């Protein structure tokens, strides 16, 4: 069954849309949000946790982040949900479809028109699922994470993240440009980003192995050099980190110009 997110800043309109969606037997769950910026953060947590979201039904004219900008930001996700606009304005249809919208519904929404949009969504989701079985996403595909910065929402590329630290219910993403606090569990992020080369070095720290330049041992304690920071490796994770970097070291071929990681033994 389909899982969708409904976004509208007008409460009566949101309640009506959610009611109509839940009445459709093809819809299994409807998540509601009253504004787009918060919905974008919720969407990021859902996808990072490895959960499925099939579509977003949203208004266009909303304060702060509007529906069109929300849709533009969705393109940064590795597997963005389908988008169906539900609006009282008919002057944005061309732009909406240029952005890849699945459908464009005008308020007040007629149940039969919404049912047609859900039918199209169901067909697309089934087709995409069949394709994904034959060609699963590559682990090196990038992913974007929405973060709040000075009251604005921006996207941070996973490839730019050097390491991640847990802060209670939040994580802090560290990049060369700065750090960003995001509400999501470290455990979920670790599972999702493991295929992209992120490794747990401590119960509260996740590191991108590509950004590790050195592994150090001092008095039985291990640490990794990531940029200008030396991050401690817990005893529990030391062997895993060492084995990973040894494999990377042995895979590197100096004749091709690659640089081995210092601190690791030779063959």
DSSP string, 179-217: EEEEES-HHHHHHHHGGGTEEEEETTEEEEGGGEEEEEE
Is the pLDDT at 257 greater than 50, yes or no? no
Q: What is the pLDDT of residue 168?
A: 83
Q: What's the DSSP call for residue 110?
A: P
Q: What is the pTM of this model?
A: 0.63
Q: What is the pLDDT of residue 108?
A: 93
> pLDDT tens digit string along 92-150?
999 999 999 999 999 999 999 999 999 999 999 998 887 766 555 555 567 888 787 76
Q: What is the pLDDT of residue 244?
A: 78
> pLDDT tens digit string along 154-198?
788 889 999 999 988 889 999 988 899 888 888 888 888 888 889
> pLDDT tens digit string along 218-245?
877 889 899 889 999 998 888 888 887 7
What domains are defined for the chain? Answer: 2-134 (3.40.50.2300), 144-256 (2.40.50.1020)
Quote the crossing angle between the two packed helices 36-48 and 67-74, to the nearest 10°: 20
């Amino acid at each position: 069954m389909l899982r969708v997110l409904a976004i509208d800043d007008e409460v009566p309109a949101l309640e009506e849309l959610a009611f109509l969606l839940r009445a459709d037997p093809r819809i299994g769950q409807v998540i509601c949000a009253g504004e787009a910026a918060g919905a974008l953060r919720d969407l990021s947590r859902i996808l990072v946790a490895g959960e499925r979201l099939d579509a977003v039904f949203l208004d266009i004219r909303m304060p702060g982040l509007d529906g069109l900008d929300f849709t533009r930001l969705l393109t940064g996700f590795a597997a963005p949900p389908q988008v169906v606009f539900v609006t009282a304005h008919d002057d944005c249809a061309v732009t909406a479809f240029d952005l890849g919208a699945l459908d464009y519904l005008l308020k007040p929404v007629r149940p039969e028109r919404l049912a047609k949009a859900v039918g199209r969504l169901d067909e697309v989701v089934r087709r995409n699922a069949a394709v994904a079985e034959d060609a699963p996403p590559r682990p090196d595909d990038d992913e974007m994470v929405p973060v709040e910065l000075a009251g604005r929402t921006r996207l941070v590329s996973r490839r730019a993240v050097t390491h991640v630290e847990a802060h209670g219910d939040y994580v802090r993403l560290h990049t060369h440009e700065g750090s960003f606090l995001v509400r999501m569990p470290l455990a979920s992020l670790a599972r999702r980003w493991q295929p992209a080369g992120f490794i747990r070095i401590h119960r509260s720290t996740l590191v991108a192995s590509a950004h590790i330049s050195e592994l150090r041992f001092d008095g039985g304690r291990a640490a990794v050099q990531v940029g200008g920071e030396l991050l401690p490796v817990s005893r529990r994770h030391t062997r895993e980190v060492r084995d990973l970097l040894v494999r990377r070291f042995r895979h590197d071929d100096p004749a091709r110009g690659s640089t081995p990681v210092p601190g690791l033994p030779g063959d």
